[in-house]
């Protein structure tokens, strides 16, 4: 049985890898300067010393310095949000949970808003390298701090109850959004635009260095989440049954929440808040391939990356030369999808 699942996962991984590769080639080539997939491939292969096709210096500069870092960041953010959502839904045994529910996104947003409105002069005093990533570091720290607060509130005699964790997350979200609202009220027009655009999400400021920094954390956390797929399957039977089968429930909860916090904190720090990905993608993966986390988590990784790259391509081209916040696109995709789910479930009942 496990051998059959392993073969199936290998096939799914290869299939979705090809889908992601095709999406990347199209996205990198799409923009004011069109670059054919063959030319994109040639530029990438040229970086490792392989001559494949002819391209201009301008095409190489646009692809390598502008579009590719953005697409790579989109892949990382999409896989982070999607696999984190799937893992949290498994831990909570609730399909309506997403990473924002434990305070990561709202904590990051509050920290960034506070720095933009109150602490911008302090950022200007920092060394150049630190100043360049000031908001990124602040966003990551805010997300981690908010989740740590949620865990502290939810902890009861060394145990983290799922209901307490959800309620603590909702409470912390309410407080942080109240703080964000107050800061928006106090902000100037320029500061308000910066906060609003960051809260709606964008990959416009992506660089190779920021993608590498966030990617190191995201990839490591994703590998960690994939490694607990068996335990999540056992937990689906119920906490008592899983404990009888050898699963340390409290250790598993803390491990998953820690990995999700690190992964989503890194993702939000480079993209801002992007909604629906961590909610929609696990549902779609579950509809297509079932609830077995050994398939669900890897499929969520690829579907999340594909959705994010596609959404970003739409966001930067549909009203070009202007750019829509990517969160608007993911919400436009996610909202109708959930309406479809509701209608489908109503027909089945």
What is the DSSP secondary-structure string of 168-185?
Answer: HHHHHHHHHHHHHHHHHH
72 phi/psi in degrees, rounded to 5: -60, -40
Would you state the pLDDT for residue 130?
60
- Report residue 57 as tokens: 């210096």
Q: What pLDDT is recorded for position 1?
A: 52
Two tokens at 193? Answer: 């635009």
pLDDT tens figures, 52-110: 777 788 888 899 999 999 999 999 999 999 999 999 999 888 887 888 888 888 888 88
Q: Which residues pair with 155 in a beta bridge?
A: 160
CA 293 to chain centroid, in Å, comes to 18
**Confidence at residue 81, expressed as pLDDT on a 0 to 100 scale:** 95
Q: Give tens-digit pLDDT for 105-134.
A: 888 888 888 888 887 666 666 665 565 566
* DSSP secondary structure letter of residue 99: G
Residue 150 in contact with residue 168, Cβ under 8 Å?
yes
pTM for this model (two decimals): 0.88
Which domains can be identified in the chain, with CATH numbers?
Answer: 2-348 (1.10.3470.10)
Helix pair angle (277-289, 326-348), 10° resolution: 40
pLDDT tier for residue 3 given thresholds of 50, 70 and 90: low
Structure tokens at 238: 């119920």
Query: Residues 143-163: what's their mean pLDDT?
Result: 80
Cα distances from 3 to residues 9, 159, 206, in angstroms, run 10, 36, 40
Q: Rg of the Cα trace of the chain?
A: 21
Write down the pLDDT at residue 191: 85
Q: Which two tokens stand for residue 349?
A: 């009942």
Enter the tokens of residue 14.
Answer: 């290869």
What number of other Cβ atoms are within 10 A of residue 132's Cβ? 16
- Give, in order, the Cα–Cα distances in Å from 330 to each of 34, 226, 268, 277: 24, 24, 15, 7
């Amino acid at each position: 049985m496990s051998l059959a699942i392993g073969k199936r996962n290998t096939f799914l991984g290869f299939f979705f890898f090809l889908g992601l590769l095709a999406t990347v080639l199209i996205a990198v080539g799409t923009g004011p300067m069109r670059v054919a997939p063959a030319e994109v491939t040639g530029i990438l292969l040229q970086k490792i010393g392989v001559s494949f096709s002819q391209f201009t210096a301008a095409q190489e500069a646009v692809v390598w310095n502008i579009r590719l870092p953005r697409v790579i960041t989109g892949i990382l953010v999409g896989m982070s949000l999607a696999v984190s959502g799937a893992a949290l839904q498994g831990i909570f045994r609730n399909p309506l949970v997403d990473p924002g529910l434990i305070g990561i996104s709202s904590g990051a947003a509050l920290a960034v808003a506070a720095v933009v409105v109150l602490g911008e002069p302090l950022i200007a005093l920092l060394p150049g390298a630190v100043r360049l990533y000031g908001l990124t570091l602040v966003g990551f720290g805010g997300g981690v701090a908010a989740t740590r607060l949620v865990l502290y509130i939810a902890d009861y005699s060394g145990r983290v109850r799922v209901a307490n964790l959800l309620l603590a997350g909702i409470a912390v979200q309410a407080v942080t959004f109240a703080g964000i609202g107050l800061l928006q009220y106090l902000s100037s027009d320029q500061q308000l635009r910066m906060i609003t655009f960051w809260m709606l999400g964008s990959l416009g400021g992506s660089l190779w260095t920021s993608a590498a920094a966030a990617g190191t954390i995201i990839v490591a956390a994703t590998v960690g989440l994939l490694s607990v797929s068996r335990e999540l399957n056992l937990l689906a039977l119920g906490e008592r049954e899983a404990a009888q089968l050898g699963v340390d429930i409290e250790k598993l909860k803390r491990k998953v929440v820690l990995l999700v916090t690190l992964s989503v904190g890194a993702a939000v720090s480079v993209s801002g808040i992007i909604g629906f990905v961590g909610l929609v993608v696990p549902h779609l993966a579950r509809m297509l391939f079932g609830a077995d986390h050994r398939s669900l988590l890897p499929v969520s990784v690829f579907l999340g990356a594909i959705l994010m790259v596609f959404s970003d391509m739409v966001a930067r081209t549909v009203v070009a030369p202007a750019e829509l916040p990517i969160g608007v696109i993911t919400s436009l995709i996610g909202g109708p999808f959930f309406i479809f789910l509701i209608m489908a479930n109503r027909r089945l009942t």
